[in-house]
Amino acid sequence: MKRQYSITGALTALLLTLLLLTAGMMPALAREPAPEDAVKAAMLYHFVQFVRWPDEVGSPEQGLVLGILGRDSLQEWLHELAAAGSRGASLKTVQLDSLPELRAQRHKLQVLYIGRTAQGDLEAILRALDGAPVLTVSDDELFVKQGGMMNFVRQNSRIRFDLNLDAAASSQLKLSSRLYGLARLIVKDGQPQEGR
């Protein structure tokens, strides 16, 4: 019986490679690098498993809804990854085209990715969420310092991320301490501090 090479298998391999590279256990040049957006999408898809939502919201095992507001190249990878599925988390994506649409759907979302074209409206976006238990993620390096919860950054040849624990706590989200060891920067008690 022939084995079929599925996107899920490829993404699992990509995630494992990513985690090894992040932990510094594999030389950076050992393999052909994956596209940067594919790495970020895999990181986000994996990291939702380390977030605890309030009991009434559910958990990654029960399935989560990822809203995408704004446009950039990462959104296609997020849609593709969610469509492929995974054993660890069931993630459904919803494209949001405006702030009123975000306000109307905020109680259906567990994760919100804010694309580059929407980053200029960050203050209004966070107000529209109004403390709802939604993990906010962006590709803007200043995002966590402006009240977002997680952002991706490129550091040398690696993709890293920053966390804002204050923002997560104010939305009743608990981030696992396992994420702290991988974060480049952590905002806690209003102060940015180096990750481990």
Domains of the chain: 7-194 (3.40.50.2300)
Tokens of 110: 């567990």
**CA–CA separation, 49 vs 53, rounded Å?**
10
Read off the pLDDT of residues 12-37 as tens digits, 9 standing for 90 and up: 444 444 443 444 433 343 445 568 89
Q: What's the CA angle centered on 117, arms 115 and 122, to 5 degrees?
A: 75
The stretch 95-117 carries a mean pLDDT of: 93
Higher pLDDT, 133 or 30: 133
- Contacts with 154 (C-beta within 8 Å, 6 or more apart), sequence order: 36, 160
Tell me how far apart the alpha carbons of residues 59 and 1 are, in angstroms, rounded to a whole number: 36
Q: What is the pLDDT of residues 63-89, one digit of tens each?
A: 789 999 988 888 888 888 877 765 455
Residue 1 in this model has a pLDDT that exceeds 60: no
Mean pLDDT to the nearest integer, 98-108: 94
Share of the chain above pLDDT 70, in %: 77
Q: Are 157 and 136 in contact (CB under 8 A)?
A: no
Q: What span, in angstroms and rounded, lies between the C-alpha atoms of 39 and 94? A: 20
Q: Are 151 and 162 in contact (CB under 8 A)?
A: yes
